[in-house]
């Protein structure tokens, strides 16, 4: 792409001035529509060192209200970010609905740099390419406009610019070692960039090349392309996206109604076994910390199924410095205004740590689906989006364990009644619980579908039969221990 790209001819100065004024006004005029239509706009700027991205970005955003955009400089990966999954640092920075985010540097920079230095092997590179394509696609599917610019200059021009920057003591710090390396290996870079640009030139987030030899001309190109892209996106807000076929290996699962719930463990056996298992898990926690393995455990289940008590028995075995429990309630405004997985990306553990989610991202295909908090197209796409999300986590090296805590309808009634009648337990029961109970059958259908479609081999569901809560706790501990042992 880069090699055979055909530059459009640079217009005369007068024309540039005229068109620039028009484009700037157009961009500025669009802000209200973006806000009203709640369109999130992610603009990424990639390209050669010295191509002037920063300066041009500075010009372009002058046309915007500073309350409606954020800029992010993404060249340097922090220590903390290095301990998170691939793309983490980009996902947590996506814009809110109705706002812009401008990324100076992006995942292209990260992946191509590692390719050029030989820090990633072919397999990793191709896996990361897939991740990137999925990332851009899921943003687009969830209503994001993603605009990608590549600022291009020739080898000669780059050389000239770097030398000029270096000559001036006040600008010398701007030239990084990497820029000089790039210029020295210009042709090699072109090859690697070309391969990447080609592979990621998706319909939902195409590449735009910017001839960056003249700054005003570059600003004009970028502004006009941005205006055009936004115009189109504004026409498309709320559109449905393709529901992709599943490509992940799935396990056979049993419908909830066919799962026997008569499993029990005696109180005496429970005490002995619990202690054994907690001791074992405690040892393993130490080892996953040392081996830097992240562990993500999600709990879903019927109201009053015993999630809280189950989680407590699990965390009791863990070193408090190495785990965190995330209770998931309805999203706050800043969360509602972003991709629904954003709040989970933000809560991912560092490597070597354990994160326990009390309710999870599966809310999308349960409560959000059944209460109409998202569109049909949204929840139908979600199975694949979630499988992709969990794939990203396991590719990173995480152990992902998902528990469905199962009881029958009668047991729930018993527990609800008990809560209602016991003063210390009344806080645990709300009108909403009773309302949800009325929709039991609808929920059961949704849950069966969810478990069927997301029981991937790399992140399967485990059913915890919890009519006897003790049984469920022992089983949960056994599964967590087994999964960790498999990985070590």
3-state secondary structure (DSSP) of residue 427? helix
**C-beta of 28: minimal distance to a copy of itself in Å?**
10
Name which of 18 and 80 has its Cβ closer to a copy of itself.
Answer: 80
Select the span of 120-128, 325-333, 409-417, 432-440 touching a copy of itself (CB under 8 A): 325-333
71 touches a copy of itself by CB under 8 A: yes
Whether the CB-CB separation of 226 and 232 falls below 8 Å is answered with no
Q: Beta-carbon neighbour count of residue 383 at 10 Å?
A: 21
Whether the CB-CB separation of 470 and 267 falls below 8 Å is answered with yes
Q: Order of strands across the sheet with 295-301?
A: 323-327, 354-358, 295-301, 399-406, 461-465
464 touches a copy of itself by CB under 8 A: no
321 touches a copy of itself by CB under 8 A: yes
| Residues ≥6 apart with Cβ < 8 Å to 302 | 405, 406, 407, 412
**C-beta of 419: minimal distance to a copy of itself in Å?**
13
How far, in whole angstroms, is CA 477 from its chain's centroid? Answer: 28
**C-beta of 141: minimal distance to a copy of itself in Å?**
26
Query: Which residue from 290, 413, 442, 488 is in contact with a copy of itself, where contact means CB under 8 A?
Result: 290
**C-beta of 290: minimal distance to a copy of itself in Å?**
7
Site string for a copy of itself, 169-188 (x = CB under 8 A): -x--x---------------
Alpha helix segments (H runs only) across 153-214 = 155-167, 177-184, 186-199
| Residues ≥6 apart with Cβ < 8 Å to 400 | 296, 298, 390, 393, 394, 458, 459
35 touches a copy of itself by CB under 8 A: yes
Name which of 308 and 445 has its Cβ closer to a copy of itself.
Answer: 308
**C-beta of 36: minimal distance to a copy of itself in Å?**
8
308 touches a copy of itself by CB under 8 A: yes
| Residues ≥6 apart with Cβ < 8 Å to 202 | 133, 136, 137
Subset of residues 185 to 214 that bind a copy of itself, contact rule: CB under 8 A? none
> Residues in the site for a copy of itself, rule: CB under 8 A?
32, 35-36, 54, 57-58, 61-62, 65-67, 70-71, 73, 78-80, 102, 104, 170, 173, 286, 290, 308, 311-312, 315-316, 318-321, 324-325, 327, 332-334, 356, 358, 424, 427
């Amino acid at each position: 792409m880069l090699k055979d790209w055909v530059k459009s001819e640079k217009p005369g100065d007068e024309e540039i001035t005229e068109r620039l004024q028009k484009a700037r006004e157009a961009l500025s005029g669009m802000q209200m529509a973006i806000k009203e239509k709640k369109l999130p706009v992610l603009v990424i700027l990639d390209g050669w060192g010295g191509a002037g991205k920063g300066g041009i970005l500075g010009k372009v955003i002058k046309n915007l209200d500073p309350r409606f955009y954020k800029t992010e400089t993404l060249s340097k990966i922090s220590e903390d970010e290095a301990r998170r999954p691939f793309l983490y640092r980009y996902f947590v920075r996506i814009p809110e609905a109705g706002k812009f985010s401008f990324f100076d540097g992006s995942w292209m920079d990260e992946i191509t740099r590692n390719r050029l230095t030989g820090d990633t092997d072919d397999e990793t590179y191709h896996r990361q390419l897939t991740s990137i394509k999925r990332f851009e696609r899921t943003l687009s599917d969830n209503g994001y406009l993603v605009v990608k610019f590549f600022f291009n200059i020739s080898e000669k021009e780059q050389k000239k610019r770097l030398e000029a920057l270096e000559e001036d003591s006040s600008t010398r710090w701007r030239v990084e070692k990497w820029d000089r390396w790039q210029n020295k290996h210009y042709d090699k870079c072109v090859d690697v960039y070309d391969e990447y640009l080609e592979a990621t030139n998706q319909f939902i987030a195409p590449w735009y090349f910017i001839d960056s030899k003249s700054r005003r001309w570059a600003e004009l190109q970028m502004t006009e392309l941005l205006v055009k892209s936004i115009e189109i996106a504004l026409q498309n807000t709320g559109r449905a996206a393709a529901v992709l076929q599943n490509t992940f290996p799935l396990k056979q699962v049993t419908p909830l109604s066919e799962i026997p719930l008569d499993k029990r463990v005696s109180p005496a056996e429970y005490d002995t076994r619990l202690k054994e298992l907690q001791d074992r898990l405690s040892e393993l926690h130490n080892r996953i910390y040392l081996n830097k393995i992240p562990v993500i455990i999600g709990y879903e289940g019927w109201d009053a199924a015993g999630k809280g008590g189950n989680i407590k028995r699990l965390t009791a075995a863990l070193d408090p410095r190495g785990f965190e429990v995330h209770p998931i309630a309805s999203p706050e405004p800043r969360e509602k205004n972003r991709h629904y997985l954003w709040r989970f990306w933000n809560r991912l553990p560092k490597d070597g740590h354990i994160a326990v989610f009390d309710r999870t991202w599966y809310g999308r295909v349960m409560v959000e689906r059944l209460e109409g908090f998202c569109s049909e197209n949204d929840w139908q796409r979600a199975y694949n989006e979630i499988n992709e999300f969990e794939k990203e986590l396991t590719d990173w090296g995480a152990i992902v364990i998902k528990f469905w805590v199962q009881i029958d309808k009668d047991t729930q009634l018993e527990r609800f009644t008990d809560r209602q009648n016991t003063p210390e337990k009344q806080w645990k029961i709300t009108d909403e619980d009773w309302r949800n109970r009325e929709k039991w059958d609808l929920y059961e259908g949704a849950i069966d579908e969810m478990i069927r479609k997301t029981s991937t081999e790399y992140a399967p569901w485990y059913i915890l039969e919890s009519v006897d809560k003790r049984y469920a706790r022992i089983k949960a501990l056994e599964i967590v221990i087994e999964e960790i042992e498999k990985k070590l």
